Amino acid sequence: MMEQKFVDFEIGKQKHIALVAHDGKKAAMVDWCDKHKEILKNHFLCGTGTTARLIAERTGLPVRAYNSGPLGGDQQIGAKIVEGGIDFMVFLWDPLEAQPHDPDVKALLRIAVVYDIPVANNLATADFMLTSRYMEETYSRKVLNFTAAVEERVEKMK
């Protein structure tokens, strides 16, 4: 039997949301979280170190804090996406400021696409996502079947 190229991963009704913002976007992120805290409180929240702390302090919501972005926080969140522990992300990256950890930023954005998780990179998209009917439902995201992909690659490399 031909192996499926993609497999379904379910995003539950309760989302595992990563919140990440560059310095120039932190105020906007904190304001946005405060404005939407009645919705956000129904989900599991996490974020890069500084962003998570600022959101938790302003809103009173529990936000699991990973390392600060430039110190590996983006990579930790990327790893969690790979493991299936994060399935929704608001990442307000700053288009007007160079980042020392730009490769990590790119890697996180890339892995979010690979794992087909909803990602907002600006407030308008974040608003659309948060008011989507899928916030109240489960959603089936499509992820490349890595078992089949590895099998195929191993056969090819032999």
- Position among 33, 40, 44, 48 found at the interface with ligand 13P (CB under 6 A): 48
- Give the residue from 115, 121, 117, 122 showing the smallest Cα distance to 134: 117
Which residue is nearest to ligand 13P, using beta carbons?
A: 69
Q: How many Å apart are CA 49 and CA 67, to the nearest integer?
A: 5
Q: How many Å apart are CA 42 and CA 40, to the nearest integer?
A: 5
* Amino acid found at 103: P
Residue 35 or 70 having the CB closest to ligand 13P: 70
Residue 70 or 145 having the CB closest to ligand 13P: 70
The minimum distance between CB 104 and ligand 13P, in angstroms, equals: 6
Query: Would you tell me the crossing angle of helices 102-114 and 73-83 to the nearest 10 degrees?
Result: 10
Measured from the Cβ of residue 97, the count of other Cβ atoms closer than 10 Å reads: 10
Catalytic residue among 34, 74, 102, 104: 74
Element (H, E) at 8: strand 6-11
Residue 70 or 79 having the CB closest to ligand 13P: 70
Q: Is 8 a catalytic residue?
A: no
Q: Does 70 bind ligand 13P (CB under 6 A)?
A: yes
- Position among 20, 40, 86, 120 found at the interface with ligand 13P (CB under 6 A): 20
Q: Three-state SS for 30?
A: helix
Instruction: Name the site residues for ligand 13P (rule: CB under 6 A).
Output: 20, 22, 48-51, 68-70, 73-74, 105
The catalytic residue positions are 74
The binding site for substrate comprises 22, 26, 48-51, 68-69, 101
